[in-house]
Amino acid sequence: MDSLLLEIGTEEMPAGYIQPALDAMAVQLLRRMDEARIAHGEARTFGTPRRLAVLVDDVAPKQAAVSTEMIGPPAKVAYDAEGRLTLAAEKFAEKAGVKIGALSIRHTERGDYLVARKTERGRATRTLLQQILPEVILALPFPKTMRWGSLKIAFGRPIHNLVAMLGDRVVAFNLGGIKSGRATRGHFFMHPGKISLADARHYVDRLREAQVIVAIDERRQAVAEAVEAAARSAGGTVIDDPALLDIVTNLV
């Protein structure tokens, strides 16, 4: 199965905005996928000062089919004395959205009832995501939001770019005039050009090639090691301050 990637490219985000937004992004996306009956695997979040991203593994190509059953009138009302379906049965079939020949009898403790069963086929996941993804983006919480240009949407910082891919195909949608695609961007100074992703799975590696460590835990470790090395070279020691380390991690 394919991986799903959603990346929101923005202007520089305050460090304190990033992790809460990423946590909400993963929770809301998986909840919406569950509600849409889209099977999926684990969700991993990634973030830098200029991007918020989530990658969901093992996404089913279409939503699960669902079978529903509607109980109708008692059998004694649904059939006449000669065993033919009555007008009540015809009206029930029409209401249930099934052909009259698809009706059956359910035997219960209260008696026999007419029953309509139907199966709703699953729609393509990519089609469903075209509605789900923009709604997830607009629902992300921030201490303060802002509007920009003539767009009618609000976000933590202006959105410049959207990447939305299921496997090797773009999940196409338009959010306030910004179209989703497969092109992300590298490091703002060291690799500012666009990077075209062939597949959602390539996201982390392609950004690493473009001088971006997009995994926050990995970047935090790199910052901590750099600080430790600088302290040793100066003959000093590092004062342990995890909160400050978290802030610095989301500033670079």
Is there a single domain that holds both residue 48 and residue 8? yes
Is there a single domain that holds both residue 133 and residue 196? yes
| CB 130 within 8 Å of CB 169 | no
Is there a single domain that holds both residue 203 and residue 230? no
What integer pLDDT is reported at residue 10 of this predicted model? 96
Strand stretches in the chain, DSSP E? 2-10, 43-48, 51-59, 66-74, 104-108, 111-120, 159-166, 169-170, 174-175, 178-181, 183-185, 194-196
Is there a single domain that holds both residue 137 and residue 99? no
pLDDT digits (tens, 9 = 90+) for 8-59: 999 999 999 999 999 999 999 999 999 999 999 999 999 999 999 999 999 9
Is there a single domain that holds both residue 88 and residue 204? no
pTM: 0.84
Average of pLDDT values for 238-245? Answer: 88
Is there a single domain that holds both residue 128 and residue 205? yes
Is there a single domain that holds both residue 33 and residue 147? yes
The domain boundary residue, chosen from 120, 144, 161: 120
Reply yes or no on whether the pLDDT at 192 is more than 90.
no
CA-to-CA separations, 133 to 19, 25, 124, 127, 181, in angstroms, rounded: 19, 10, 14, 11, 13
Helices 216-233 & 15-35 angle (0-180, nearest 10)? 160
Reply yes or no on whether the pLDDT at 110 is more than 90.
no
Domain count, the chain: 3
What integer pLDDT is reported at residue 6 of this predicted model? 99
What's the pLDDT band for 231 if we cut at 50, 70, 90?
A: confident
What integer pLDDT is reported at residue 124 of this predicted model? 97
| Owning domain of residue 75 | 66-120
Is there a single domain that holds both residue 167 and residue 142? yes
Share of the chain above pLDDT 90, in %: 63
Which conformational region is residue 42 in: left (phi greater than 0), alpha (psi within -120 to 50 degrees), or beta? Answer: beta
Is there a single domain that holds both residue 53 and residue 164? yes
Is there a single domain that holds both residue 184 and residue 79? no
Is there a single domain that holds both residue 37 and residue 138? yes
Reply yes or no on whether the pLDDT at 180 is more than 90.
yes
Residue carrying the six token digits 């991203």: 53
Collapse the DSSP code of 221 into the 3-class scheme (helix H, G, I; strand E, B; otherwise coil) and give the result: helix
Is there a single domain that holds both residue 157 and residue 184? yes
